[in-house]
Chains A and B, each alone.
Chain A
Amino acid sequence: MRIALIATCLGDALFPEVARATTLLLERLGHEVVFPPDQVCCGQMHVNTGYLAEAVPVVRHHVEVFEAADFDVAVAPSGSCVGSVRHQQAMVARRVGDTLLARRATALAGRTYELSELLVDVLDVTDVGAYYPHRVTYHPTCHSLRMLRVGDKPLKLLRQVQGIDLVELPGAQECCGFGGTFSIKNADTSSAMLADKVRNVVGTGADRCTAGDASCLMNIGGGLSRQDTGVRTIHLAEILASARESVAA
């Protein structure tokens, strides 16, 4: 299958290892990955901060870039960015009366998937041949869980990883407190939420915390790092891309 990669703006600039792992994983599974080089951002930050008009050019650019690309399905290693593509892009377009853009965005959203959705639902695979010898706990990010309803797809994939010791995270479904600019506008409340998430992660005894969204991991990882817990965060894509020959750190 010809799969277009949405690296996400955060992934491209700050967490390139996530988009790299997604690429290598899909190529290892025998698919062709294309990276439309003009892509930037899905518009989520603007929408969630209330700058809906400012989101429109960002959305329009995303739609134009991916409409011009040749691919079967698009994938993003981010529940929140796919949530934005699926639930917000058409909304902001409609809000400014651009029904054509709304239709185009909806059409693209129809073939855009989050990584675990793509693997389990579209490519029909749960064992991706990964090897990852760590004690890992999984945080289901809010947008994956409730906006996309990925359910236990990430866990299905993780359970097939060789060498992994998967441990359940107490209070897994509770938000880590990130919420984009929420973590700045309501920093105190956000920090209180993060403190509980960090305590729960550390309580599992895991040495790695994984999730399907680099932004949530940036938040949780930032808290784990500040408290010198020794627990590291790693994106689901990186675990799935790990092989016996090249175990990701």
Chain B
Amino acid sequence: MSTFLGIPRRASHEDEESPLRGTLPFPKAARKALANDQLRRNLAHATAVIRTKRALVVDEMPDWEALRDTGSAVKTQVMANLPELLEQFEANVIAHGGVVHWAADAEEANRIVTDLVRAQDVDEVIKVKSMATQEIGLNEYLEERGIAAVETDLAELIVQLGHDKPSHILVPAIHRNRTEVRDIFLAEMADAPADLTDEPRRLAMAARDHLRRKFLRSRVAISGTNFGIADTGTIGVVESEGNGRMCVTLPETLITVMGIEKILPTFTDLEVFLQLLPRSSTGERMNPYTSLWTGVTPGDGPQNFHIVLLDNGRTNALADQVGRAALHCIRCSACLNVCPVYERTGGHAYGSVYPGPIGAVLTPQLTGMHGHHDVNSTLPYASSLCGACYDVCPVKIDIPTLLVELRGRAVDSDRGRTIPGGWDAAMKAASWVMSDPKRFVAAEKALAAGRLVAGRDRKIKHLPYPGSAWTQSKDMPAPPKQTFRQWWQETHHE
């Protein structure tokens, strides 16, 4: 099937360099993170803290499951009617004095934003809620054109000053501890106090002073968004520090970049999502700041408001009846915080600005899977399918099932190769053996030879490849003297 939203879809290419696409296969990228003890300690601590907080505030909600069902139903409706909802949204933004731009991909979105910034004749902009702009590499694009983009979210600021990439959707500096943050501030923040300590309060105050000067001076702000509301043309941003409020009220010009999936049909839908999001993401009953703005209000707030509606692969995902559920994501990051794989590898291993379980399903859909040599094909395998992500997802995205489906596509995208890979051969052979009892019994007999390689303690400590991956950290038991079916025949005479 195809989905047409009025903007022509562009094919994604595996050689395309993009913040959405890594350069290393997941297992290889993960190895680097796994070898970093400090990183793993930071991650384990931070995810455990957020996990516990989230569980507490979710458990106190008697209607949590009903809210999840509602959130999921609203999102399903949104996907089914996305073209109409976007048009309605566009009409309402325009009616309230805003300007709407459509961007098919990162390049187009970057160009639109840059032109808008240049029109205001500034060389510095402030930013908040930067996920969508990170996806398109906006900061780098602006920098190459002489425009400095200053992140105002504390964690984003730490990442930016550290010349680093975010490692988490919600806590981009989750992989940094406070001593590292102090060192980054001292080295990179020109107006940081020389006697700065690693006390969290002092770090926050240093950032606050630094940012306050930026807020008061900047004439242009760029934001992302949590929600775009079709029936009113309203944009919503939820945050914790007040930097968002500063960005969306002080400058004369506000440019918002919004992924087209962020639409909610009606203003009253916020009732559901403003309950689901903070509890799932920060483990709070309500986030400290919620900013909602509708077009332009004379004499109050930015007098020029632009919104860039970003596709960048989303219609590819939308065209996929199974995979489109990944577009339901409200970027709460609950799935990252419970994922045992994410907890140990951090976000960088996923190679995309969208890490963790949701990233493992979203990234391959946004940028395609092009055979076994494509790093994207390793992402759906970056999960033990433990199911913890599905349990916490506020909009009930069945991530394990999506991962399995995408694994199927990764395999299918490779079919027809002249030389089948090792896994292909092994899985075909196993299918042949496991669909016939005679062949299986013959295989069991062959397996019994494994008794010979076991030590006297019946432990196999080294298996040949690929079993060697198994025996790197654990023993394999030797096959038993008698299979179950042999025992059954002996004892039950059948």
Contact = CB atoms under 8 A, between A and B. Distances in A.
Residue among A16, A53, A182 having the largest count of chain B Cβ atoms under 10 Å: A16
A221 B457 CA distance: 14
Contacts of A182: 381, 383-385
Nearest to A24: B491
A144 B480 CA distance: 26
B473 A194 contact: yes
B435 A191 contact: no
A226 B437 contact: no
Interface in A188-210: 188-195
Nearest to A45: B430
A57 B477 CA distance: 29
B325 to A, nearest CB: 14
Interface stretch (A32-40, A157-165, A239-247): A32-40
Contacts of B469: 183-185, 187
Contacts of B412: 53
A188 to B, nearest CB: 5
Contacts of B453: none
B44 to A, nearest CB: 9
B340 A61 contact: no
Interface string B1-36: 000000000000000000000000011001100100
Q: Is the interface of B mostly helix, strand, loop or mixed?
A: helix
A226 B474 contact: yes
Interface of B: 26-27, 30-31, 34, 40, 340-341, 344-345, 380-388, 390-391, 401, 404, 406-412, 423, 427-428, 430-437, 440, 443-444, 447, 459, 461, 466-467, 469-470, 472-477, 479-480, 482-489, 492, 494
Interface of A: 7, 9, 11-17, 19-20, 23, 35, 37-41, 43, 45-55, 57-58, 60-61, 87-88, 91, 95, 142-143, 145-147, 173-175, 177-180, 182-195, 218-219, 221-223, 225-226
Name the 5 nearest CB pairs between A and B, nearest first: A179-B384, A50-B407, A222-B474, A146-B387, A175-B386
Given A43-B434, A54-B427, 14 more contacts: A12-B485, A13-B479, A35-B492, A37-B494, A40-B440, A45-B430, A46-B434, A91-B401, A142-B384, A174-B388, A191-B474, A222-B470, A222-B477, A226-B461
21 contacts: A37-B489, A40-B434, A41-B434, A51-B408, A54-B430, A57-B435, A91-B401, A145-B387, A175-B340, A177-B384, A178-B384, A179-B386, A180-B385, A184-B467, A189-B30, A189-B34, A193-B341, A218-B476, A222-B473, A222-B476, A225-B475
